[in-house]
Amino acid sequence: QKEVEQNSGPLSVPEGAIASLNCTYSDRGSQSFFWYRQYSGKSPELIMSIYSNGDKEDGRFTAQLNKASQYVSLLIRDSQPSDSATYLCAVRASKIIFGSGTRLSIRP
C-alpha cells in the first residue's frame, strides 16, 4: 500500500462544474496536509494547506480533511480551463510524502 494514494486520472470535468480530487494516506500520525497544482513543465504551486478536521475554503477551492478516515480532498468550484493541471496531495508526519498526482482536464 502506498503511503499517499491518489487516482492518477485523467479526470475530465466540464467547464463550470465542480472538480473533486481525492487522496488517502496510511500514516495515522500525519498532521499536515497540502494540495499543490503543477502545470506541465512547471514546478508545483501550493494551493491549500489544512491541519484540522473539516473544511477550509479559499476562493474557488475547498479542502476537506477527515483524519478518522485518513482522507483529504480538494474541491474546485466553477472549474476553468486554466485549472487543467496535475494536482498533488502531500501529507506530513515526520517527513512529507507526495502522492503521484491526479491529472485534471477541464473541457470547454
Partner 1 sequence: KAGVTQTPRYLIKTRGQQVTLSCSPISGHRSVSWYQQTPGQGLQFLFEYFSETQRNKGNFPGRFSGRQFSNSRSEMNVSTLELGDSALYLCASSLVWGNEQFFGPGTRLTVL
Binding region for partner 1 (CB under 8 A) out of 13-21, 28-36, 53-61, 72-80: 28-36
d(CA 22, CA 73): 4
17 binding partner 1? (CB under 8 A): no
Q: Is 72 exposed, middle or buried (0-12, 13-18, 19+ CB in 10 A)?
A: buried
Contact pick of 21, 34, 72, 91 for partner 1 (by CB under 8 A)? 34
Binding region for partner 1 (CB under 8 A) out of 21-29, 65-73, 74-82, 84-92: 84-92
Least Cβ distance, residue 57 to partner 1 (angstroms): 17
- Residue 51, CA distances (Å) to 18, 33, 54, 90, 93 in order: 23, 6, 9, 12, 11
Q: For partner 1, which is the closer residue by CB, 43 or 52?
A: 43
Q: For partner 1, which is the closer residue by CB, 79 or 89?
A: 89
* Contacts of 69 by beta carbon, 8 Å cutoff, 6+ apart: none
Tell me if residue 33 falls in helix, strand or coil. Answer: strand
List residues binding partner 1 (CB under 8 A).
31-32, 34, 36, 42-46, 49, 88, 90, 92, 94-101
